[in-house]
């Protein structure tokens, strides 16, 4: 920085400080400055309006949601152990394209209640249905990533009749992640037990290791880790409840979605990266699309599990083309 610019910056800072000081001294002496400034801040509390958008389900769980824009609604269902913030790149993109975008924080995740129970796909789908009904969303496109893809599958299969136009399953867990006699290509239970053990032992460290490594493919040779992306993943994860995250591992790994997939008749796009180290595509996307009545498969060479973030430019355009089709 040059001496001239430094001098200008210093003069600007002093001028700003003087202005703030003058404003503060003009306030009544008996009123703290912070309290006085609050008088000028916009607020909706006096009108009885909640500062955040939430609904309360039948079992008393408070579910947080975002609702931006106008037009055909697109509902975003996030992955484990994140929040609707993981869809920032998509929600900003689609609201600018003239759509109404809704993001839901799953129970126990993000800003929703850290309740003890109900961390299973039936409750997740029912919670999503409660938000949809509260907002009276119709002709909606539901997009789910990873665990959110399982949530979309169960929601559309059981609650979506008459309200859903299309669905997208991205890097999604259906039809079944766990290895069983009828699903020999799945992952052994020891993998998920390892996740549970790591979470229980040191959740904060585990939530650094996952995004630093396999989630975004930052462990691949030549990959350049993005610290902001890693920290944002950690931030979202640590906002949620440890018990919800622990229980959710069983929900996303052991839930069988075969019958749900068979029941879905709306156009459904199945998107998956072939370098997904979290949900291997051969036992997920390739099987899911065979069960769907109206499914379309798109495999992305070299893309990781978190491709909605690392390759948002590609993903957003493909999503837009599908929504418009």
Active site residue 256: no
Active site residue 276: yes
Give the list of residues 6+ apart from residue 288 with CB closer than 8 angstroms, or none.
169, 172, 174, 175, 257, 261, 270, 295
Sheet holding 295-300, edge to edge: 54-56, 62-68, 100-104, 73-77, 140-145, 164-170, 268-273, 295-300
Catalytic residue among 77, 142, 145, 305: 305
Instruction: State the DSSP string of 127-155.
Output: HHHHHHHHHT--SEEEEEETHHHHHHHHH
- 54, containing H or E segment: strand 54-56
Q: CA dist 153 to 64, 161, 257, Å?
A: 21, 12, 7
Catalytic residue among 105, 120, 127, 276: 276
Catalytic residue among 83, 113, 146, 248: 146
Is 113:62 a contact under the CB 8 Å cutoff?
A: yes
Three-state DSSP state, 86 = helix
**Which spans in the chain are helix H?**
3-25, 33-40, 88-96, 121-135, 147-159, 189-212, 227-239, 242-254, 258-263, 285-291, 307-310, 312-324
Give the list of residues 6+ apart from residue 219 with CB closer than 8 angstroms, or none.
212, 213, 277
CA angle 286, 289, 293 (to 5 degrees): 160
Which residues are annotated as catalytic? 146, 276, 305
């Amino acid at each position: 920085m040059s001496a001239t610019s430094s001098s200008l910056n210093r003069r600007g800072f002093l001028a700003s400080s003087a202005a703030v000081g003058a404003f503060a001294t003009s306030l009544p002496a008996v009123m703290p400055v912070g309290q006085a400034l609050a008088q000028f801040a916009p607020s909706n509390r006096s009108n009885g309006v909640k500062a955040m958008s939430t609904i309360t389900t039948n079992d008393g769980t408070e579910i947080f949601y975002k609702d931006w824009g106008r037009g055909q609604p697109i509902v975003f269902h996030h992955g484990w152990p994140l929040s609707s913030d993981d869809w920032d790149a998509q929600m900003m993109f689609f609201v600018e394209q003239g759509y109404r975008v809704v993001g839901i924080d799953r129970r126990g995740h993000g800003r929703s209640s850290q309740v003890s129970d109900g961390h299973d796909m039936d409750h997740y789908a029912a919670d999503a249905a409660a938000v949809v009904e509260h907002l009276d969303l119709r002709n909606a496109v539901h997009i789910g990533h990873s665990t959110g893809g399982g949530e979309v599958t169960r929601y559309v299969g059981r609650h979506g009749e008459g309200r859903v136009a299309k669905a997208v399953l991205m890097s999604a867990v259906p039809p079944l992640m766990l290895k069983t006699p009828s699903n020999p290509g799945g992952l052994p239970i020891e993998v998920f037990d390892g996740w549970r053990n790591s979470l229980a032992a040191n959740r904060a460290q585990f939530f650094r290791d996952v995004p630093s490594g396999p989630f975004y493919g930052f462990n691949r040779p030549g990959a350049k880790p993005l610290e902001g992306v890693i920290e944002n993943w950690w931030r979202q994860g640590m906002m949620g409840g440890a018990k919800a995250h622990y229980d959710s591992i069983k929900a996303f790994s052991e839930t069988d979605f075969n019958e749900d997939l068979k029941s879905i008749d709306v156009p459904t796009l199945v998107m998956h990266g072939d370098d997904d180290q979290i949900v291997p595509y051969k036992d997920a996307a390739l099987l899911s699309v065979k069960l769907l009545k109206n499914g379309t498969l798109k495999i992305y060479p070299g893309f990781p599990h978190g491709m909605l973030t690392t390759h948002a430019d590609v993903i957003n355009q493909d999503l837009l083309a599908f929504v418009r089709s």
